[in-house]
Structure 1
Amino acid sequence: MTVQPKPIPALYCVYILRSTVRHGSLYIGSTPNPPRRLSQHNGQVKGGAVRTSRSSLRPWEMVALVSGFASSTAALKFEWALTNPHTSLHIPSESRLAFSTQRKRNGQPKRPPKSLTSILSNLHLLLSVPSFARWPLTVHFFAKDVHGAWLRWCNKAEKQLRESLPLVTDFGDNITAGASASKLPELPSATMSDPMEQEDEEMQKPTWGIHALPLDYELLKDYVAKGQDIFEFERHGNCVVCKEEIDPDEGGLHAVCSNEGCEGVGHLRCWGRHLLEGEDGGGEEAVLPVGGRCPRCRGQVHWGTMMKELTLRVRGAKEVEKLLSVKRKRASKKTAKKVGQPKS
């Protein structure tokens, strides 16, 4: 069986779940669809983990999550490390914050008890270790007290996170984004038949927190359309970094600047080298860029965003067709309308 390569998903995250009834009950999981996954944990939709099925602990809330994982495998790797910080090989033994004091029947170390402080401290630690420090991740907080606990830990932690790591807070009343108890939403009943009532229920759904996260590629539509247009009409020109000719037929990978109005295209290896050279804290051993400036337009670019567009272009034909179909239909109608207009 051959595994077909897939584009980087629109969203894949590792989340922290907390019982609204007993705040000491916590759970860590991963998902490409946080609203649906929360509904499963709360018994509104079939599925969910056994550990969150106790009615005495429901409803649950997602108080924080980390997004930006390039695949489900990457998210599961991070989830396992965050759930098992006492044994994870991603954490050097001298840096561990969690230790097991008991053994299972099979002799393996037993997981130490989880608390909000232990989870947040180990989350901070994982985001700073070489395995994950340069991944294009974003940290989100949806509860003020959890965000406050995070800030307190950051202030006393010995190792600081990279300054360019995005941090987003969304508490419903205000949303902030920077570099450095929510009510369980009511879902439409499965037996509801009145379209007007269904529409009212949809309008009452929360539009903040996990419900405001993009679950599709809609935000990349213009960027993806630009990349498709550049290579479809062979307007790629020479590499913006090395200035050598770009030959799409030679099988190489080519990245496109994400800034509006800029059509800078370059070899993937050239983009990577250019961005790494422009980073102050990259270090000689770093191989994964975080971001920097486009050589052509001098605008800021984000490596994770560029790779998402690239993988969509070379691996996601179906996703691209679906994403751009509405835009193309509208353009066709607009052109037809202009053609049908009488000349003045």
Structure 2
Amino acid sequence: MRAGRQGNRSSLLSHTFPSFYACYLLKSVQTPTSKATYIGSTPNPPRRIRQHNGELTQGAYKTKRGRPWIMQLIVHGFPSKLAALQFEWAWQHPNLSRHIRDENGKVFTTTGRGLKQNIQILRFMISIHPYNLWPLHVKIFTPQALKIWDGLAGTQGKGKGKEKATNSAHATILPRGFTHTVELEGVDGKLAGGSGRSVPIDVQDEKFTTTHLNKHNDLIASKKLLECSVCREPLNNYILDPLTHALSFYFSISQW
């Protein structure tokens, strides 16, 4: 029998949470009227923003123009690097993703996408399947992004006619238990305001991912009868059963 490959490759049954992987949203601040934005993903946002701004090598070609850039927010808590890359692609191409649609077809377009619409798309994605099943978390780094985020939370049902329908589609109910944090000192700790952090964010994600891993260990130790929160099947083996029940789900998202 051919021996299985070793290294960084993983299977559903040997899957482990990544320590940290994030999708992020940049905005150009080259001039006071700059509107250009950029969406990407990285295991190290503080290093990545330095690459985009030319302080380090390997910055994205598309961001050579528009420098300097400021990281507006990140979303993290993905079950795998692949999931983060799929999320990034859908956020970049909401008009092509089969998940980001309402009952009448496509919700968002690729034209006129500034900071506000990119945050609208992010909130919408977090609220829909399959992303609303992932333990996602958002960190907001700028007052402008925070104002937009909070403003979108209260737009549902406002407006008239076509405007009301659009607002209803874009103003979404975020998943139960979803949280976001505000850190106005910025991803690198250099922006004014915030809690006083003067260093880059911790990319080991000890305060978030570790919480889920500890919950996993506590559930195993409790030996209580558990059930899958999606299909309600009993879980006799907490490590393997959820993956077994969810095979069809994972195979479906792998076809994106």
Q: TM-score band (shorter)?
A: 0.5 to 0.7
- 1:30 aligned onto 2:28: no
User: Which of residues 190, 194, 198 is equivalent to 1:206?
Assistant: 198
Number of matched pairs: 201
Tell me what 1:314 maps to: none
Tell me what 1:150 maps to: 149
Q: Tell me if the contact between 2:27 and 2:38 (Cα under 8 Å) persists in the aligned partners.
A: yes
Deviation string, structure 1 residues 67-88 (Cα, Å, up to 9, x no partner) = 1112211011111111111111
Tell me what 1:135 maps to: 134
Q: 1:95 to 1:161 in 2, by over 3 A?
A: farther
Q: 1:134 to 1:37 in 2, by over 3 A?
A: same
Q: 1:133 to 1:223 in 2, by over 3 A?
A: closer
Deviation string, structure 1 residues 110-130 (Cα, Å, up to 9, x no partner) = x32321121011111111111
- 1:74 aligned onto 2:83: yes
Counterparts of residues 33-44 of structure 1 (less than 5 Å): 33-44=44-55
C-alpha distance in structure 2 between counterparts of 1:11 and 1:95, whole Å: 34
Q: Tell me if the contact between 1:12 and 1:70 (Cα under 8 Å) persists in the aligned partners.
A: no
User: Which of residues 190, 197, 204 is equivalent to 1:215?
Assistant: 204
Q: 1:265 to 1:28 in 2, by over 3 A?
A: same
Code of the aligned partner of 2:57: K
Q: State the TM-score, normalized to the length of structure 1.
A: 0.51
C-alpha distance in structure 2 between counterparts of 1:162 and 1:74, whole Å: 18
Q: 1:124 to 1:96 in 2, by over 3 A?
A: farther
Code of the aligned partner of 2:152: W
Q: 1:89 to 1:10 in 2, by over 3 A?
A: same
RMSD: 3.3
Code of the aligned partner of 1:141: I
C-alpha distance in structure 2 between counterparts of 1:72 and 1:89, whole Å: 20
Counterparts of residues 230-309 of structure 1 (less than 5 Å): 255-257=216-218, 264-266=221-223, 270-273=225-228, 276=229, 286-287=230-231
Q: 1:21 to 1:220 in 2, by over 3 A?
A: closer
Q: Tell me if the contact between 1:21 and 1:58 (Cα under 8 Å) persists in the aligned partners.
A: yes
Q: Tell me if the contact between 2:101 and 2:107 (Cα under 8 Å) persists in the aligned partners.
A: no
Runs (4 or more) in structure 1 with deviation over 6 Å come to: 218-224
Deviation string, structure 1 residues 30-54 (Cα, Å, up to 9, x no partner) = 0111011111111111101100012
Tell me what 1:231 maps to: none
Q: How far off its partner does 1:215 sit?
A: 2.5
C-alpha distance in structure 1 between counterparts of 2:211 and 2:145, whole Å: 35
User: What SS does structure 2 have at the residue aligned with 1:133?
Assistant: helix
Q: 1:26 to 1:222 in 2, by over 3 A?
A: closer
Q: How far off its partner does 1:255 sit?
A: 4.1
Question: Higher relative CO (CA 8 A, sep ≥ 6), structure 1 or 2?
Answer: 2
Give the unaligned 5+ runs of structure 2. Answer: 157-167, 233-237, 240-256
Q: How far off its partner does 1:62 sit?
A: 0.7
Q: 1:220 to 1:149 in 2, by over 3 A?
A: closer
Tell me what 1:168 maps to: 181
C-alpha distance in structure 2 between counterparts of 1:29 and 1:53, whole Å: 14
Deviation string, structure 1 residues 119-143 (Cα, Å, up to 9, x no partner) = 0111111111111112100011000
